């Protein structure tokens, strides 16, 4: 008779729902129960050991390669010379190449041939885009609240208060 003073606790919606489920395969069991065996739980298998695929990241070289790809495969620059269409080669201007092109006025390929016309691009500087940040800036807060003092009869305005203050300043 220990249960006489206790109130019954109703079942939650999840408990009612789990009772209604019937597993599709007796070997697999109930799909609503969480797995505790790490060999079958794919969420616990996060090791990169023996993996040949590198983790995903975007660096400066990836951005330069994307620009080179865009020039070569999307824009596809060309010139028409003597009635023939000639594609313009696109190269990345590394500091060594850029310095020699500035000094000589042209660029030579591996065989020593002057490459004209030629499209060369290089990166001048790297700056952080401050508008895409996940941290709050104290100078430009995104979330802020303005609090005001509520009206009270103690701080009520009247012409008498103004005249008394005015007289006390000049006396």
Q: 37-61 pLDDT, tens per residue? A: 666 666 666 777 777 877 778 889 9
Model confidence, pTM: 0.45
- For residue 30, tell me if it sits in a domain: no
**Within a domain: 73:** yes
The rounded distance, in Å, linking the Cα atoms of 122 and 64 is: 8
User: Are the C-beta atoms of residues 77 and 88 closer than 8 Å to each other?
Assistant: yes
Q: Does 170 score more than 60 pLDDT?
A: no
Report the C-alpha gap between 72 and 89 in whole angstroms. 8
Q: What are phi and psi of 145, to 5 degrees?
A: -130, 135
| Percent of the chain predicted with pLDDT > 70 | 60
Asked whether residue 93 is assigned to any structural domain, the reply reads yes
SS3 145: coil
Does 2 reside within a domain? no
**Residue 110 within any structural domain of the chain:** yes
Residue 65 falls inside a structural domain: yes
Domain count, the chain: 1
Domain span at 112: 60-121
Residue 71 included in any domain: yes
In the chain, what are the helix, strand and coil shares in percent, each to the nearest 5?
30, 10, 60
């Amino acid at each position: 008779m220990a249960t006489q003073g206790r109130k019954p606790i109703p079942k939650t919606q999840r408990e009612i729902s789990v009772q209604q489920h019937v597993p599709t395969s007796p070997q697999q069991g109930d799909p609503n129960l969480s797995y505790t065996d790490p060999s079958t739980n794919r969420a616990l298998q996060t090791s990169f050991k023996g993996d040949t695929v590198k983790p995903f990241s975007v660096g400066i070289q990836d951005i330069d390669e994307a620009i080179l790809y865009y020039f070569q495969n999307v824009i596809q620059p060309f010139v028409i010379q003597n009635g023939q269409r000639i594609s313009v080669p696109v190269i990345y201007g590394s500091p060594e190449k850029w310095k020699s092109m500035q000094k000589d006025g042209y660029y030579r390929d591996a065989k020593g041939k002057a490459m004209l016309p030629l499209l060369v691009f290089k990166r001048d500087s790297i700056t952080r885009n401050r508008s895409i940040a996940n941290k709050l800036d104290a100078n430009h807060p995104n979330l802020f609240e303005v609090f005001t003092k509520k009206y009270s009869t103690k701080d009520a305005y009247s012409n008498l208060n103004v005249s008394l203050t005015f007289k006390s300043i000049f006396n």
